[in-house]
Amino acid sequence: MLLAVGCSPSATSPTPSAASASPTQSAAASASASLPARLQDSSAPLPAAAGAIVLFQLPSETGLHAISFGAEVNGLIKGQAPQTTAGASWSQSPYGPPFLIGTIAYDRDGKELGTIPWSATATKTWSTDGRFLCAAVPASATTGAQIRLEMAFVGQPAKVIASGFTTYVDNATYPVLACDQGADRAIVAVFGQGVSATRLYVIRVSNGALIRSVDYAGVGGWVASSADGSMLAESVPPVAPATNWKTTIRSADTGAQLGSIDDLLVRGFSGDKTLVVGNTPSAAAVVDWKTGRKVWSATGSYGGYLPEPAGPRLAVGIGFVGGSDQRDVYLVGPNGFLTLLPERVRVSLHY
């Protein structure tokens, strides 16, 4: 996933309108100064009926462990992944398996399912159901080339969904923030030098029609999309030293304002769209965006997230800086902290 911000045209808020609130001023359960007890990971095989899972790897192993988003069960799967110094070497689908290592997809038994048609370094996004992937790639790696939104099932060639909605610049990135065939929506963002949003495109998956585009040039902010492409979180940076980030939640199709949050740079939504995850300069937090209630927070540098498909739970990383092994991954639910994964764990997180 995945990203950027906005000066999209203002619109009348729907009724009832969501309240604007500061998560730093809301009553909340926040992580204590000392870390809570960590998960005692099981060496038994993961039950087949575990449902959606988070794949993780211990620092001294190439094998893959897994835990359900609600922390009810955990155990080993048969998949393996290379060790790296910069975090997870794989990209998991929303439900866990299949997962990608380079250009090869594997199932939970470690069996090769086939390859994908893009390079290992291309930015790719799993569809919400985990059946295929989407990528926004240039027709050629030259400035001015048309960007194409493509989709591909594992082992099959890429199919062009849309082309020509924007052009390639070599100092920009083009992440696909959402790709949902059921909702018939894809969201493609453009980030200048990968750090601030400049454009965003809402595209119909079935026929490539452009539903809406947003110009973020000069704002220097961030945008995140819900998994189904129906909602955006547009975060605007401080305009003065004494101010903080402000995020507006909008309808992706119309730009209508649905709510707002103060003092939080929003990085993503929970799978059911009830919660957002983001960061302040010194902490990560999960917030109910309709009320401003802070569900959970922990001090440290934000390190990515992974949402439960269609559910309210998330995995949230803390301390992933420069490939450092000093990192923690929390599982968080609608009522707060669920569990803390083992020390120096590797997880495939969205940023």
Per the DSSP assignment, residues forming a β-bridge with 160 are: 150
Q: What is the pLDDT of residue 56?
A: 96
How many whole angstroms separate alpha carbon 10 and alpha carbon 250? 10
- What range does the domain containing 176 cover? 23-347
**Residue 241 burial class via C-beta count within 10 angstroms: exposed 0-12, middle 13-18, buried 19 and up:** exposed
Q: What is the pLDDT of residue 21?
A: 47
CATH code of residue 53: 2.130.10.10
Please, what is the end-to-end C-alpha distance for the chain in angstroms?
7
Asked, for residue 12, whether it belongs to a domain, the answer is no
How many whole angstroms separate alpha carbon 71 and alpha carbon 48? 15
Q: What is the pLDDT of residue 2?
A: 34
Q: What is the CA radius of gyration of the chain?
A: 19
Asked, for residue 158, whether it belongs to a domain, the answer is yes
SS (H, E, C) 288-347: ECCCCEEEEEEECCEEEEEECCCCCCEEEEECCCCCCCCCEEEEEECCEEEEECCCCCEE
**Residue 327 burial class via C-beta count within 10 angstroms: exposed 0-12, middle 13-18, buried 19 and up:** buried
Asked, for residue 92, whether it belongs to a domain, the answer is yes
Number of domains in the chain: 1
Q: Are 37 and 345 in contact (CB under 8 A)?
A: no
Asked, for residue 11, whether it belongs to a domain, the answer is no
Q: What is the pLDDT of residue 28?
A: 36
Q: Are 336 and 275 in contact (CB under 8 A)?
A: no
Q: Are 320 and 54 in contact (CB under 8 A)?
A: no
Query: Beta-carbon neighbour count of residue 330 at 10 Å?
Result: 23
Asked, for residue 203, whether it belongs to a domain, the answer is yes
Asked, for residue 15, whether it belongs to a domain, the answer is no
Asked, for residue 3, whether it belongs to a domain, the answer is no
Q: What is the pLDDT of residue 32?
A: 38
Asked, for residue 7, whether it belongs to a domain, the answer is no
pLDDT by 10-residue block (mean), the chain, 351 residues: 33 34 40 71 89 94 96 95 88 97 96 97 95 97 96 98 96 96 97 90 98 93 97 91 86 98 96 97 95 95 95 92 68 97 92 86
